[in-house]
Amino acid sequence: MAVAESCRRTLEIEVPQEVVKKRADEITAQLRRHARLPGFRPGKAPLSLVRQRYREDIRAELLRDLVPEYLSQKTREQNWDLVGDPSVSDIELTDDSPLKFKATLEVMPEFALKDYSEIELDSEDTSVSDQEVEDTLRRLQEQEASYDNVDESRPLQDGDFASIALQEISPGQATPAKTHELLCEIGAERTVKEFTESLRGASLGDERQVSVSYPPDYSDSRLAGKTLNYHVKVLGIKKKQLPELNDDFAKELGQFESIDVVRQHVREDLGKAKEREAEQKAKAQLREKLSELHDFPVPEALVEHQIERRMETFRRELAARGMGTNVDWGRLRSAQRQDAVVDVKSGLILRKIADENSIEVEQEELDKEIRSMAAVVQQPVEALQARLTSEGGLDRIKTRLRIDKALVFALQQVAWK
């Protein structure tokens, strides 16, 4: 989906010479009152001398005053809804002549809302199978597992958990690397094979040197593609013990009378999660189909802004996971463009749907959203609201909520298959 150039406009603007002269005289008179020129008291220097001495200041002030004023006037005459800041070029300003300049800007597209009721969306199965419930229970079992010491006179074997002290060895390192203590399951699929091969058969107290070559697609980007050497010491040998799935296990989890009550609770939670996921998929699908249905260009400034928002989200997520050092940011940014265009275009369509169906955000809805945000950032509601008000954030939140209400409304109008 390409971003067409028809949102871009170019204006060639001319400010009449008499307007320029009048404004220049006003600026000169203001400067004269405070000008300190040799041989003259403030406010007494000849205007011609003030013009000569402050020529560049007068020019800069003229441009600051007249360019925005006449640009705004011309865009109002065209009834254009501007996006972003215009770019001004080819400025011509000389004595006793009009001010001429060129302005390049982007405007909101004009389009008619098409009949979207014939759009078909794929429905999602949100039912929960018995197998999904049992898989979740098994994960709960794993979380409640205990690790018990075994006969430490025997060597490590597959299925054992080795308690190890792990230290990275770096050539030429002045100080030893920090030692990490962790559990390593011997022979497990998720265990790096070099650790399994080195530790299988080791006994309590044994020390080994392990060299690990991590593949380029390794899950931890900090290690991907690297070869690292480790010093490993076996601190203990343990076996994992899983609790039985019975009523005692249910009571350990919380206020549950029996394992059957836990199963029902798990089924309900899984169902709600599936419904939320299905709703998000449906919304994304509808936004894409609305964009395909309507043929109009979108402003490049809005697309770039949306790309940057997506990139900032990625940066925060990767930073939270301690990742991001090996990311090709340029490639990642380019990959966001298509989705960013859909975001912007569908947002404009949904605004028009909201306009045509009188969809507005009630004050109680806005207050609820602010309370929710305050809880997330752990700030008093009043403090957050004051900050959002001063920064203009309330309008952005209101726009987002209005678009989402329009999206929910549109979901009720389309067909499902």
Structure tokens at 81: 């809804």
Q: Which 3 state secondary structure label does DSSP give 27?
A: helix
CA distance 353 to 117: 12
Q: Which 3 state secondary structure label does DSSP give 194?
A: helix
pLDDT of residue 1: 38
User: Residue 87: which H helix or E strand, with range?
Assistant: strand 82-92
pLDDT tens per residue, range 165-177: 999 887 665 555 6
pLDDT of residue 2: 37
Percentages helix, strand, coil for the chain, rounded to the nearest 5? 50, 20, 30
pLDDT of residue 325: 61
**What is the rounded average pLDDT of the residues 210-238?**
87
CA distance 400 to 386: 19
**What is the rounded average pLDDT of the residues 144-156?**
89
**Smallest Cα–Cα separation from 193: which of 210, 169, 176?**
210
Which residues, 6+ apart, have CB-to-CB distance to 300 below 8 Å?
Answer: 3, 7, 8, 106
Comparing 214-218, 342-346, 393-397, which segment has the lowest mean pLDDT?
214-218
pLDDT of residue 70: 94
Going along the chain from its start, the domains and CATH numbers come out as: 5-107 (3.30.70.1050), 146-241 (3.10.50.40), 297-356 (no CATH), 360-417 (no CATH)
Looking at the predicted structure, is the pLDDT value of residue 323 above 70? no
Comparing 39-48, 96-105, 164-173, 178-187, which segment has the lowest mean pLDDT?
39-48
What is the rounded average pLDDT for all residues in the chain? 89
Looking at the predicted structure, is the pLDDT value of residue 324 above 90? no
Looking at the predicted structure, is the pLDDT value of residue 259 above 90? yes
Which residues, 6+ apart, have CB-to-CB distance to 86 below 8 Å?
Answer: 71, 103, 104, 105
pLDDT tens per residue, range 336-347: 999 999 999 999
pLDDT of residue 7: 87
CA distance 368 to 389: 16
Calculate what percentage of the chain has a pLDDT beyond 90: 61
pTM: 0.73
pLDDT of residue 375: 92
**What is the rounded average pLDDT of the residues 315-335?**
78
Looking at the predicted structure, is the pLDDT value of residue 266 above 90? yes
